[in-house]
Amino acid sequence: MRLIIAEKPSLARAIAEALPAGVPGQDGALMAGDSVVTWCLGHLLEQAPPDAYDPSHKAWRLDTLPILPDRWKLVPRAKARAQLAVIRGLLKRADTVVHAGDPDREGQLLVQEVIEHLGWQGPVARLLVSDLNAPAVKRALSRLEDNARYAPLYRAAQARARADWLYGINLTRAWTLVGRQAGHDGVLSVGRVQTPVLGLVVRRDAEIRDFEPRPFFVLWADLVVARGRLRAWWVPGEGHSLDDQGRLLERAPAEALGGRLAGAEGRLARLETRDRRQAAPLPYSLSALQVDAARRHGLSAKAVLDICQRLYERHQLITYPRSDCRYLPEEHWAGARRTLEGACGEDATLRGWLAGADFAKRSKAWNDKKVGAHHALAPTGKRADLSRLSRQEADVFRLITRNVLAQFYPPLSTREVKAEFAIAGEVFRARGQEVLEAGWKPLFTTRDEAPPLPPLTEGEPCRVEEAGVEDRETRPPEPFTDASLIKAMMNIARYVEDPAIRRTLRDSDGLGTEATRAGILETLLERGYLAREGKALRATRLGDALIASLPEAVGRPERTALWEQRLSAIAEDGDAPAPFLDALVEDLRGLLGHADAERMRRALAGARGVEVPSRGRKAGGKARRQSAGRRTGGKTSPGGARRKRGSSS
Handedness of CA 503, 506, 507, 510 (dihedral sign): positive
Give the gyration radius of the chain's Cα atoms: 29
The pLDDT tens digits of the residues spanning 148-157 come to 999 999 999 9
Task: Exactly one of 150, 167, 284, 320 is catalytic; name it.
Answer: 320
Contact 486, 611 (CB under 8 A): no
| Cα distances (angstroms) measured from residue 204 to each of 199, 208, 292, 495 | 8, 6, 21, 11
pLDDT at 613: 55
Amino acid in position 455: P
pLDDT at 359: 97
Instruction: Specify whether domain 2-143 bears CATH 3.40.50.300.
Output: no
Question: Which CATH number is 156-210+478-630 given?
Answer: 1.10.460.10
Q: Give phi and psi for 126, each to the nearest 5.
A: -120, 125
Domain 215-279+412-473, second-level architecture: Distorted Sandwich (2.70)
pLDDT at 50: 97
Q: What is the rounded distance in angstroms from the CA atom of residue 159 to the CA atom of residue 578?
A: 8
Contact 456, 417 (CB under 8 A): yes
Q: Give phi and psi for 64, each to the nearest 5.
A: -100, 0
Asked if 320 is an active-site residue, the reply is yes
Question: With 0-12 CB in 10 A as exposed, 13-18 as middle and 19+ as buried, what is 392?
Answer: middle
The pLDDT tens digits of the residues spanning 371-382 come to 877 899 999 999
User: Which residues of the chain, if any, have pLDDT below 70?
Assistant: 22-26, 446-450, 504-509, 612-649
Contact 433, 425 (CB under 8 A): no
Sequence-distant (≥ 6) Cβ neighbours of residue 446 within 8 angstroms: none
pLDDT at 623: 37
Cis peptide before 579 (omega within 30 of 0): no
Predicted TM-score (pTM) of this structure: 0.85
pLDDT at 267: 98
Q: What is the rounded distance in angstroms from the CA atom of residue 257 to the CA atom of residue 560?
A: 53
Can you name the CATH fold of 286-408?
Topoisomerase I; domain 4 (1.10.290)
* Buried/exposed code over 94-108 (b: 16+ C-beta within 10 A; e: otherwise): beebbbbbbbbbbbb
pLDDT at 446: 65
| Cα distances (angstroms) measured from residue 63 to each of 56, 549, 596, 627 | 12, 20, 13, 17
CA atoms within 13 A on the CB side of 271: 12
pLDDT at 635: 34
Q: Which of 406, 287, 288 is CA-nearest to residue 336?
A: 406
Q: Which of 103, 57, 59, 53 is CA-nearest to residue 74?
A: 53
| Cα distances (angstroms) measured from residue 637 to each of 30, 43, 135 | 32, 13, 39
Domain ranges of the chain: 2-143, 156-210+478-630, 215-279+412-473, 286-408
The pLDDT tens digits of the residues spanning 67-118 come to 999 999 999 998 999 999 999 999 999 999 999 998 888 899 999 999 999 9
Angle made by CA atoms 436, 439, 443, in degrees to the nearest 5 = 130
pLDDT at 158: 97
pLDDT at 614: 54
pLDDT at 639: 35
pLDDT at 627: 34
The pLDDT tens digits of the residues spanning 388-404 come to 999 999 999 999 999 99
432 alpha-carbon distance from chain centroid: 34
pLDDT at 626: 34
3-state secondary structure of 28: coil
The pLDDT tens digits of the residues spanning 209-258 come to 999 999 999 999 999 999 999 999 999 988 899 998 999 999 999 999 99
Q: What is the rounded distance in angstroms from the CA atom of residue 481 to the CA atom of residue 534?
A: 9
